[in-house]
Chain A
Amino acid sequence: MNPVNDTIRFENVSKFYGEVLGVNRVTLSLSPGITTLVGPNGSGKTTLMNLMTGLVQPSRGTISVLGLSPSNATEFFCNVGYCAQFDSFPRGLSGFQFVLDSLMLFGMSEEDAYHLTTESLERVQLSDEAAHRKIAGYSKGMRQKIRLAQAVAHHPRVLVLDEPLNGLDPMARAESLALFQELGRQGMHVIISSHILDEVDRISDRVVLITGGYLIAQGNIHDVRQEVRDKPMQVLIRCDRPDLLASKMFAVNHCVEARLHADGNGVFLRTGDIDEFYRLLNEIAVEGLVKIEAVAPADDNANAIYQYLIGSDGGVS
């Protein structure tokens, strides 16, 4: 596969709704895997997704998805599925009929459409009985599932999901995340916007942070975290003598905070110089006074990055 044709590209894209800024000068290149869009309400996440799928057109700049443009709908939407946040459906349809009608527009035979409909409903774990009921009688979680089933039914290479975990109970959320993970592993592009950061963080390959229509950071979560040099990083060290380790670490300037773990077998240390921190930790381990069992970044996740870069103003969306 040509790498250019395997990426989603935004080049200097701006979108204005009259006088109101949607997004401004966004340049992005997304490779296959799971990408999470993070930002507060009105930051431009949905605008980015709508631009990507041609529901709105850019005021400036160009967008290509796998080398395709939404203006070529026939080819584009065979490769792209979009589960939008609009919680509405054509009237009078059952869940099964809704997915089947969508697939029939791909030009496939009725038999194939029927088969794919059944398969997608199984994928989102919507029971047969529920699938044949009218959507008007569905719970919010079921509506979310049927939208997801419709978006994945044609086996797209790019799946765009706007708040896909909204309204799902914990079990359904876990199932959906497992499905996204599986799709990401299969080499698909999965673009997710979600406010349940802890959950999507676990499966994301990269994050795109956006606020006020501006892109403020993008890339692998760990790389983005590394770039936030002005914020001390927090590391959890599991060891047999956390108090001794904390005192040794505090002897150096870059260590700014230490907090014992609730179970007494570890310590959270916050440092302004992560490279120097790890060098010193190695020395302590070699000395043998403290037996170190595990070292793990404690704020190396999308939630922490969000807090550092965007803050809590406006609330996470």
Chain B
Amino acid sequence: MMQQSVGSAIGILRQQPWSLWWIQARRMTRIEIRRNLFTKRAWWIYFLAFIPAVIILIHLVIDSHPGFSMGDDTEVLAGVMQFYYVRLGIFFGCLGIFSRLIRGEMIERSLHYYLLSPVRREVILLSKFFAGAVSSVVLFGAAIIADFVLMYAGYGAAGWDFMLHGPGLGQIEAYLLIMVLACLGYGSIFLLLSLMFRNPMPGAMLLLGWEAINPVMPSLLQKFSVASYLRHLMPVSVPAEGIFALLTVETEPVAAWVAVLGLLALIVVVLTYTCYRMRRLEIRYTTD
């Protein structure tokens, strides 16, 4: 009986037009990436992503690292990653990119063109999500690599050796993994918020507040936080002091693979519910 129903489910799945969906998803993603990355409205996200690189560059040109060691700069970079990118840069960048994907089109009254195309709504949603993910990963990935290179380039051959053959390589890999997971995690949540609320900003502020108070929550509730998973992946720990202590996530120690899988599971749950909301979405621009 069980075998039969599994067999029929597999049969139904095989009958679906996967190749058509794949083509549609690729084309939608291409259109969306063009809109996300190459419009004037994206300038402030470029600004968010690259402002640390600009500041590091200014220091590189003017200070030339007097009295600093590579160890100090490694801590500074970890702080930039933890306090700026995860908490602010990627958070607000993803808010700008992902909340625009559906809500932005509703505000501009152009979403109906997608909903009237022969594309399943789930394919529309997941393609838009993927395009948002690619856009944010490209932007913030390029920015973080630029930060990394500029931070150690001033040390000459020693700096390049640290980056290419020393512990720097592992650190940048970890930062890029954190960045990708942060983009996917925040992106999925902002996409859902934009489908649920006309103005996703109050929801985003609540999320920011939730992420800030999450460390003092019971360990079960800490599982519902993007930043708490990312904290366990940081290659360099930064001791929180003063005001930063409020923003630092102090969760119970978790293995890296658990953190990655936990965050991916959270993303899948959020996206599944977002697909359900998309399926039921109605176009009534006057009330949106």
Contact = CB atoms under 8 A, between A and B. Distances in A.
Does B associate with A?
yes
Interface of A: 17, 50, 53-57, 73-78, 80-82, 84, 86, 88-92, 101-102, 104-107, 150
B156 to A, nearest CB: 45
Interface string B11-31: 000000100100110011001
Contacts of B121: 73
Contacts of B88: none
A104 B26 CA distance: 10
Given A74-B17, A82-B116, A91-B39, A55 B110 contact: no
A101 B285 CA distance: 22
A78 B31 contact: no
B20 to A, nearest CB: 5
B106 to A, nearest CB: 10
Given A74-B20, A74-B120, A105-B27, A90 B35 contact: yes
Interface in B172-195: none
Nearest to A83: B116
Contacts of B120: 73-74
Contact of B109 (A82, A88, A150): A88
Contact of A91 (B23, B35, B285): B35
B108 A88 contact: yes
16 contacts: A56-B283, A73-B117, A73-B120, A77-B117, A77-B118, A78-B118, A86-B109, A88-B109, A89-B113, A90-B35, A91-B39, A91-B108, A102-B113, A102-B117, A104-B31, A105-B28
B280 interface: yes
Contacts of B280: 57
B115 interface: yes
B241 interface: no
B118 A89 contact: no
B108 A55 contact: no
Contacts of B285: 86
B282 interface: yes
B118 A74 contact: yes
A76 B108 contact: no
B119 interface: yes
A88 B35 CA distance: 16
B28 A56 contact: no
A268 B155 CA distance: 100
A150 B113 CA distance: 9
B165 interface: no
Contacts of B283: 50, 55-56
A56 B281 CA distance: 8
Given A55-B115, A74-B17, A107-B23, 7 more contacts: A54-B115, A75-B118, A84-B112, A88-B108, A105-B119, A106-B117, A107-B118
B279 to A, nearest CB: 8
A76 B113 CA distance: 14
B287 interface: yes
A84 B111 CA distance: 12
Contact of B35 (A50, A74, A78, A92): A92
The 8 closest A-B pairs by CB, nearest first: A88-B109, A77-B118, A55-B283, A105-B117, A56-B282, A107-B20, A90-B110, A107-B23
A16 to B, nearest CB: 12
Nearest to B40: A92
B23 to A, nearest CB: 5
Interface string B269-288: 00000000000101111010
A86 B20 CA distance: 29
Nearest to A150: B113
A50 B110 CA distance: 15
A86 B112 contact: yes
B147 to A, nearest CB: 30
Interface string B257-276: 00000000000000000000
Contacts of A101: 31
Contacts of B35: 90-92
Given A17-B284, A54-B115, A75-B118, A89 B24 contact: no
B61 to A, nearest CB: 36
Contacts of B118: 73-78, 105-107
B258 to A, nearest CB: 38
Contacts of A77: 116-119
Contacts of B113: 89-90, 102, 150
A81 B287 CA distance: 24
Contacts of A102: 113, 117
Nearest to A104: B27
Contacts of A104: 27, 31
A89 B35 CA distance: 13
A104 B30 CA distance: 11
Contacts of A53: 116
B43 to A, nearest CB: 14
A75 B23 CA distance: 16
Nearest to A50: B283
Contacts of A107: 20, 23-24, 118
A111 B288 CA distance: 37
Contact of A55 (B31, B112, B119, B287): B112
